[in-house]
A = this chain, B = another copy of it.
């Protein structure tokens, strides 16, 4: 890995990140054709956390948070820090002191491929964090890594400046170039969902609302009464 700190990457508009965060992770992931979601291993450190920001990335050695310290300096208001490790690690690379430093700089949250600690403090102060583990295991500051290079977390490539969103459902990434599309498609999806929600509240069925009923026979789905089914099963 090249041990480099890339400065001043272009960023998406932090206001757009905030708007997308209000749409929610599931909605934005769907709106972009079911892409970008980091998977169920990334969990919020406390329930109700919600944030959206522009990614500053740090690539660390397992058990070593030197590059998190380096990355803090590269953060601006509206950013969200994204921390990956060179190989899998659950160690608690991030805690309350980092949160204090980031909050002071206007950073909106953190996503870690490793562990997070001081979760009682994070909950108390409301600093949003997502991680693969909660772990008190401490770190050294010995080995070089990189800041603001593309990283992969949960099977998703995250580039500096991309929008990263988190809520109770986990974390998703919106590539910087896709932000306008995400805004439009996300709003359209919310509108559609509002219509469908009203239909469901009136007692309509998804089979009809989504026009699936006629496709069921083509797919070979047959309806059988339980009485008949029981007879067939002997």
Taking beta carbons and an 8 Å cutoff, which residues of A are in contact with B?
A: 1-10, 24-26, 29-30, 33-35, 37, 39-40, 43, 46-48, 50, 61-64, 66, 69-70, 72-73, 86-92, 95, 97-98, 100-101, 104-105, 115, 117-120, 123, 133-138, 140-144, 148, 150, 152, 155-157, 160, 167-170, 172, 177, 193, 196-197, 200-203, 205-207, 210, 212, 216, 219-226, 229, 234
Task: Give the number of times this chain occurs in the complex, counting copies.
Answer: 6
Q: Is B104 a contact partner of A200 (Cβ separation < 8 A)?
A: yes
Given contacts A118-B169, A169-B117, contact A29 B104 (CB under 8 A): no
Complex partner residue of A220 from B86, B144, B155, CB under 8 angstroms = B144
Task: List 5 A-B residue pairs with CB atoms under 8 Å apart, sorted by A's residue number.
Answer: A3-B219, A61-B140, A97-B193, A97-B197, A120-B168
Contacts of A98 in B (CB 8 A): 206
Q: Is B143 a contact partner of A219 (Cβ separation < 8 A)?
A: yes
Contacts of A143 in B (CB 8 A): 64, 140, 142-143, 219
Complex partner residue of A39 from B6, B135, B167, B221, CB under 8 angstroms = B135
Q: How far is the CA of A141 from the CA of B142 in the complex (A)?
A: 10
Contacts of A7 in B (CB 8 A): 223-226
A12 to chain B, nearest CB (A): 14
Complex partner residue of A157 from B152, B177, B202, B229, CB under 8 angstroms = B152
Q: Is B100 a contact partner of A226 (Cβ separation < 8 A)?
A: no
Complex partner residue of A104 from B50, B92, B152, B203, CB under 8 angstroms = B203
Other A-B pairs beyond A29-B137, A152-B157, 7, CB < 8 Å: A4-B223, A97-B193, A97-B200, A117-B169, A135-B169, A142-B143, A148-B226
Q: Is A39 a contact partner of B137 (Cβ separation < 8 A)?
A: yes
